[in-house]
Chains A and B, each alone.
Chain A
Amino acid sequence: MREDRGSHEATNIWSGILNVRSSIRCVGLCIALCGLAGPAAGDASDEQGRTITVATWGGPYERSQVKAYFEPFTKATDIRVRTVRYEGGLSELRQQLGTGEITWDVVDMTMADNRAACRQGLLEPIDHAILLPGTDGVPADEDFLDGALTECGVSQIVYAMVTAFNRDAFPGERPARIEDIFDVKRFPGKRALQKAPAANLEWALVSYGVPREDLYELLSTERGLRLAFRKLDRIRDHVIWWTSIDEPVDLLVSGKVAIASQFNGRLFDAAVVHGHPIEIIWDAQLYEFGTWGVTRGSPRRKEALEFIRFATGTGPLADQAGYISYGPTRHSSTRLVSTHAEIGVDMRPHLPTSSANFRTAILKDTEWYASLHDRIVARFDAWLGQSETNHTDQATTDAVAEGQDDRSD
């Protein structure tokens, strides 16, 4: 049950990252997508087994998948892809396995959800030997990033929580390393941080010089937590805690804060697509995986695995990064990423996985959070409660970003 709550939290953020359109425009896109998927759905009744159903997240994210994965896959194999909307969590999978009517074949999940679903027997184990080697001949298990392959999952994208600053706030020296966000003397100004333990605890401890490999082991001790909170204490009077994913960019752009934490895709959108003077501090980015899983007992298991094998090849993974600034999970794909398919910007410097950005990246330990989600949140809230009541201007909306995103494609 605890995992469920953990995955729910992750789900909310996830849908927040991906669902970056206004709800009205989203409906419009859904109609467009239904148009695209319509014939496929029609064929499904005629040609059973040659159409697979992929549950994914809609929006420009899904569009990037259509372009990079689904269309080339259908072209190559004649297997069509029907998409259905997925909002995260395990409830639909549980329901389908409960009734025996399995309609989803492939599900695009957060790593945390994927792990939880795997443990609960909702997903098929995936033999990683089916995966294609990189185009450079490197075997798949070496070509994928560490942690990208799990018992029931093959990860396809990397997204990261990072810090960013408004260039206008720092006319002189600019923050470049994660410890700089805790140094209000050298880098004055308000900080917008997520009102959650994730990322804040990691960054606080890493700023002491704790090696990232040891991070969660040390955060598992009272001493580690105490140190992390002690570091956060130093900036607590300068923090505006955000709870809605829409806030940080607004706060940064409006100049209400000088530094903010946010997912890298949103920051790319604000800085590159909209030209705001925002710069990402890639140091100590906290990255996570988006992961494919196959529903247990899917009658189209063979096709589903064929799809995953195709879609996680070097080429498709590299292509997707031409539509959205999430990093491919293969080293060989990262090297092939070129320009944005529509705005023509070189995408490489904007991916969490590009070598310069990835050097000090921290893999978010989803197991750790899944195992003690409530308690770590309680600890964080208790620490927050010790502060004065001058942080009441925080937004209190739900983390699900149903809000107003003005991102255009």
Chain B
Amino acid sequence: MDTLSDTLSRIVSIALLGAVTGALASLAAIGFVELIAALNDWLFISPRSRFMVDNARWLVVATVGVPAAGGLIVGIIHRYNPDRRSHGPPDIIQAVQGLEPRIPLRSGFLSAMASMVSLGAGASVGQYGPLTHLGATLGSLVAGCARNTRWMVTVGVGCGVAAAISTAFNAPIAGIVFAHEVILRHYSLRAFAPITVAATVGYVLANMVFERPPLFRLETVDASSAPEFVGFVAIGVCGALVAVVYMRAILCSARLARKVPVPDFLKPMLAGAALGLAALWIPDVLGLGKETLRFAVIDQAFGAGELLVLVVAKILATAMCLGFGFAGGVFSPALLIGVLFGALAGNGAEVILGELHSEIAVYAICGMVAVTSAVIGAPLTTILIVFELTRNYDLATAAMVSVVFSNLVSYRIFGRSLFDVQLRMRGFDLADGRHKAILDQRLVEDYVSLDYTALSPDAPLDEAKSRLLEADRHEGYVVDANGIYLGTVTLAELELSPAGDARGPKVTVGQLARPEPLILTAKTTVWHAMEQMGDFVGESIPVLEAGGDGRLLGVVFEATVVKAYLDTTNRIRKEENAGG
């Protein structure tokens, strides 16, 4: 009976985790999006509210002033965030992949607030990154309240992310897939169930209770003709290049921002003012650009030159805003850049192929998914978003072609996604697998043992030998009065050396000591130690203080390092296969 009730309570708690997280994350997402829309209306960011302003001078003041003021507030909020920046999808990935899945509440909510202000004030940043992070924070919170195990929290985070995406795009399947493809990066049946519950709750709330409008609406789109598929491949390849330029621009801008001699908290304000000035000429760079996105799927809405200018302007604006410290995602701007690029490609195709069989919308959508899937590294999710938004099989098929070619190219020349590259720059490299990333985070100093025999350099060999025999060790570490490591002597060397000859000059261990071929420092990662240990034969490895003058901290045993490696891979296997 015990086991039955135990099983039941587990099933109920996991289903509840999905439902409660799904509802909370979805409501938060709806509230977030609504509040941004309201702020955009109040602050003269949305085209409609700008259109209603009668006074041209006032509009200029608002256009420059609002993003600048928003930037200042964001800068101030960041001062209260533990690492002085806002968190987003890369932080969720790192938390989940690094086996410490709990999302800190403080940075979670401060990041949401900073993103809200950024987006509300019209910064050219995305809203989906903040939404997923907010969902993940709530999921982590709910799971922590239910049963605070690592596996539960991981699933809770996945649920929050899935519900947020499902709500934001009215696309439940895409939400489920996104949580697996980008965040969890593995598939386990036990995690799938609660995540599906969460995504469905999000979809029901968004679609049936609050009747949220979709991201874009398409009139019926005709099926594409065979030769056009070549065009969709080309869009995929070129879209990857656009995505790489976009991602590099973001990274570049962050480097540039670090060199600007202005206090960090004032940097977003500078970017806001610059963005406002640009918006006086190109209002499309302001905010999420929903209207621009909707125009891009309409034939004749843009000229080719205009499209090119907008693609470049939006890349620059987004790179500047993100690099200079506005809080927000990279996905929404990528959607807009991609859709404009796709429309541009459609114009190009018209020149090459003559009269197009497909409408411009098909090309625009292909461009959109090509760019976004390369940026977020989620081919399946983007294909599903198109499919669920449009319910159009032909369109999803065309989009699929562009997506896979885009990922193929961008993976080769940039990396799996912007998130992964940002994580790699922080030293968390998932490119060679999760176990490497985790072991790369663990340092040898955590495994240091003081279980060794230290010998003074001027100790006679006899004394050294007897001390080693006494401690039943084969190796002794020669350390001077300041604790500096000088070398190692082995029992065998002591035995063979002619130290027992009292007539000759007195030989000390200091003369005999040889530095070990493998010496680690405290900051060596476990992964690095593993790699170096390949040829090591010996009892233990000396560990020195990092960056110091060579003071001996202790030793690590080969077995300890191997055990750390095995423990990590076991934990990963357990989580990915069975759960705990």
Contact assessment for B219 and A218 in the assembled complex, using a CB-CB cutoff below 8 Å: no
Q: Is A383 an interface residue, CB under 8 A from the partner?
A: no
Among B44-52, B376-384, B509-517, B557-565, which stretch is in contact with chain A? B44-52
Contact assessment for B295 and A223 in the assembled complex, using a CB-CB cutoff below 8 Å: yes
Q: Is A217 an interface residue, CB under 8 A from the partner?
A: yes
User: For residues 187 through 239 of chain A, which have their beta carbon under 8 Å from a beta carbon of chain B?
Assistant: 208-211, 213-214, 216-218, 220-224, 227, 230
The chain B residue with its CB closest to the CB of A212 is B217
Contact assessment for B299 and A371 in the assembled complex, using a CB-CB cutoff below 8 Å: no
Chain B residue contacts of A371, Cβ below 8 A: 52
Chain B residue contacts of A224, Cβ below 8 A: 291, 295
The chain A residue with its CB closest to the CB of B290 is A217
Chain A residue contacts of B54, Cβ below 8 A: 372, 375
Chain A residue contacts of B301, Cβ below 8 A: 208, 223, 227
Q: Is B532 an interface residue, CB under 8 A from the partner?
A: no
The smallest beta-carbon distance between B577 and chain A, in angstroms, is: 46
The chain B residue with its CB closest to the CB of A218 is B291
The chain A residue with its CB closest to the CB of B53 is A372
Chain A residue contacts of B302, Cβ below 8 A: 223
The smallest beta-carbon distance between B234 and chain A, in angstroms, is: 25
Q: Is B148 an interface residue, CB under 8 A from the partner?
A: no
The chain B residue with its CB closest to the CB of A375 is B54
Given A211-B217, A211-B219, A375-B54, CB of A217 within 8 Å of CB of B299:
no
Contact assessment for A218 and B295 in the assembled complex, using a CB-CB cutoff below 8 Å: yes
Given A211-B217, A211-B219, CB of A217 within 8 Å of CB of B298:
no
Q: Is B570 an interface residue, CB under 8 A from the partner?
A: no
Contact assessment for A372 and B51 in the assembled complex, using a CB-CB cutoff below 8 Å: yes
User: For residues 54 through 75 of chain B, which have their beta carbon under 8 Å from a beta carbon of chain A?
Assistant: 54
Chain A residue contacts of B48, Cβ below 8 A: 216-217, 220, 368
Chain A residue contacts of B219, Cβ below 8 A: 209, 211
Task: Give A221 to B219 CA distance when docked, in angstroms.
Answer: 21
User: Which of B219, B294, B300 is the most central at the interface, judged by chain A CB atoms within 10 Å of its CB?
Assistant: B294
Chain A residue contacts of B498, Cβ below 8 A: none
Task: Give A383 to B47 CA distance when docked, in angstroms.
Answer: 21
The chain A residue with its CB closest to the CB of B302 is A223
Contact assessment for B291 and A208 in the assembled complex, using a CB-CB cutoff below 8 Å: no
Q: Mark A362-398, 1 if CB is under 8 A from B, else 0.
A: 0000001001100100000000000000000000000
The smallest beta-carbon distance between B144 and chain A, in angstroms, is: 39
Chain B residue contacts of A218, Cβ below 8 A: 291, 294-295
Task: Give A15 to B264 CA distance when docked, in angstroms.
Answer: 62
Q: Is B580 an interface residue, CB under 8 A from the partner?
A: no
Task: Give A375 to B283 CA distance when docked, in angstroms.
Answer: 20
The smallest beta-carbon distance between A112 and chain B, in angstroms, is: 15
Contact assessment for A214 and B300 in the assembled complex, using a CB-CB cutoff below 8 Å: no
Q: Is B500 an interface residue, CB under 8 A from the partner?
A: no
The smallest beta-carbon distance between A178 and chain B, in angstroms, is: 12
What number of A residues sit within 8 Å (CB to CB) of B? Answer: 20
Task: Give A216 to B54 CA distance when docked, in angstroms.
Answer: 17
Contact assessment for B217 and A214 in the assembled complex, using a CB-CB cutoff below 8 Å: yes
Q: Is B104 an interface residue, CB under 8 A from the partner?
A: no
Task: Give A216 to B51 CA distance when docked, in angstroms.
Answer: 11
Q: Mark B278-322, 1 if CB is under 8 A from A, else 0.
A: 000001000000110011001111100000000000000000000
The chain B residue with its CB closest to the CB of A222 is B283
Q: Is B213 an interface residue, CB under 8 A from the partner?
A: yes
The chain A residue with its CB closest to the CB of B50 is A220
Chain B residue contacts of A375, Cβ below 8 A: 54
Contact assessment for A209 and B291 in the assembled complex, using a CB-CB cutoff below 8 Å: no
Given A208-B298, A208-B299, A375-B54, CB of A217 within 8 Å of CB of B291:
yes
User: Which of B46, B283, B295, B299 is the most central at the interface, judged by chain A CB atoms within 10 Å of its CB?
Assistant: B295
The smallest beta-carbon distance between B287 and chain A, in angstroms, is: 12
Given A221-B51, A372-B51, A372-B52, CB of A209 within 8 Å of CB of B295:
no
The chain B residue with its CB closest to the CB of A2 is B54
Chain B residue contacts of A217, Cβ below 8 A: 46-48, 290-291, 294
Chain A residue contacts of B52, Cβ below 8 A: 220, 371-372
The smallest beta-carbon distance between A360 and chain B, in angstroms, is: 11
For B299, give its contact among A209, A214, A223 (CB under 8 Å).
A209
Contact assessment for A213 and B298 in the assembled complex, using a CB-CB cutoff below 8 Å: no
Task: Give A218 to B213 CA distance when docked, in angstroms.
Answer: 15
Task: Give A222 to B59 CA distance when docked, in angstroms.
Answer: 15
Q: Mark A300-339, 1 if CB is under 8 A from B, else 0.
A: 0000000000000000000000000000000000000000
Chain A residue contacts of B290, Cβ below 8 A: 217
The smallest beta-carbon distance between B303 and chain A, in angstroms, is: 11
Task: Give A301 to B52 CA distance when docked, in angstroms.
Answer: 36
The chain A residue with its CB closest to the CB of B297 is A209
The chain A residue with its CB closest to the CB of B295 is A223
The smallest beta-carbon distance between A68 and chain B, in angstroms, is: 32
For A213, give its contact among B47, B213, B291 (CB under 8 Å).
B213
Chain B residue contacts of A209, Cβ below 8 A: 219, 298-299
Q: Mark B213-238, 1 if CB is under 8 A from A, else 0.
A: 10001110000000000000000000
Task: Give A377 to B353 CA distance when docked, in angstroms.
Answer: 42
User: Which of B46, B51, B291, B299 is the most central at the interface, judged by chain A CB atoms within 10 Å of its CB?
Assistant: B51
For B47, give its contact among A211, A221, A227, A230 (CB under 8 Å).
A221
Given A213-B213, A213-B217, CB of A220 within 8 Å of CB of B47:
yes
Contact assessment for A220 and B295 in the assembled complex, using a CB-CB cutoff below 8 Å: no
The chain A residue with its CB closest to the CB of B219 is A209
Contact assessment for A208 and B300 in the assembled complex, using a CB-CB cutoff below 8 Å: yes
Chain B residue contacts of A222, Cβ below 8 A: 283
Q: Mark B32-47, 1 if CB is under 8 A from A, else 0.
A: 0000000000000011
Task: Give A312 to B47 CA distance when docked, in angstroms.
Answer: 37
Task: Give A209 to B297 CA distance when docked, in angstroms.
Answer: 9
Task: Give A220 to B50 CA distance when docked, in angstroms.
Answer: 8
The smallest beta-carbon distance between B74 and chain A, in angstroms, is: 26
Q: Mark B236-254, 1 if CB is under 8 A from A, else 0.
A: 0000000000000000000
Task: Give A213 to B216 CA distance when docked, in angstroms.
Answer: 10
Task: Give A371 to B298 CA distance when docked, in angstroms.
Answer: 27
User: Which of A209, A213, A216 is the most central at the interface, judged by chain B CB atoms within 10 Å of its CB?
Assistant: A209
Chain A residue contacts of B283, Cβ below 8 A: 221-222
The smallest beta-carbon distance between B344 and chain A, in angstroms, is: 16
The smallest beta-carbon distance between B442 and chain A, in angstroms, is: 52
Chain A residue contacts of B299, Cβ below 8 A: 208-209
Chain B residue contacts of A211, Cβ below 8 A: 217-219, 294
Task: Give A216 to B219 CA distance when docked, in angstroms.
Answer: 17
Contact assessment for B298 and A210 in the assembled complex, using a CB-CB cutoff below 8 Å: yes
The chain B residue with its CB closest to the CB of A231 is B300
Chain B residue contacts of A213, Cβ below 8 A: 213, 217
The smallest beta-carbon distance between A370 and chain B, in angstroms, is: 10
Chain B residue contacts of A372, Cβ below 8 A: 51-52, 54
Chain A residue contacts of B213, Cβ below 8 A: 213
Task: Give A246 to B357 CA distance when docked, in angstroms.
Answer: 45
The smallest beta-carbon distance between B336 and chain A, in angstroms, is: 14
Task: Give A217 to B46 CA distance when docked, in angstroms.
Answer: 9
Task: Give A366 to B308 CA distance when docked, in angstroms.
Answer: 36
Contact assessment for B51 and A214 in the assembled complex, using a CB-CB cutoff below 8 Å: no
The chain B residue with its CB closest to the CB of A368 is B48
The smallest beta-carbon distance between B12 and chain A, in angstroms, is: 33
Chain B residue contacts of A221, Cβ below 8 A: 47, 51, 283, 291, 295
Instruction: Identify 4 new A-B residue pairs, CB closer than 8 A, beyond the known A214-B294, A217-B46.
Output: A208-B301, A220-B46, A220-B47, A223-B295
A-B contact pairs, 13 of them (CB 8 A): A214-B291, A217-B47, A217-B294, A218-B294, A220-B52, A221-B47, A221-B283, A221-B291, A223-B301, A223-B302, A224-B295, A372-B52, A375-B54
A-B pairs with lowest CB-CB distance, top 3: A220-B51, A220-B48, A211-B217
Taking Cβ atoms with an 8 Å cutoff, the residues of A that contact B are 208-211, 213-214, 216-218, 220-224, 227, 230, 368, 371-372, 375
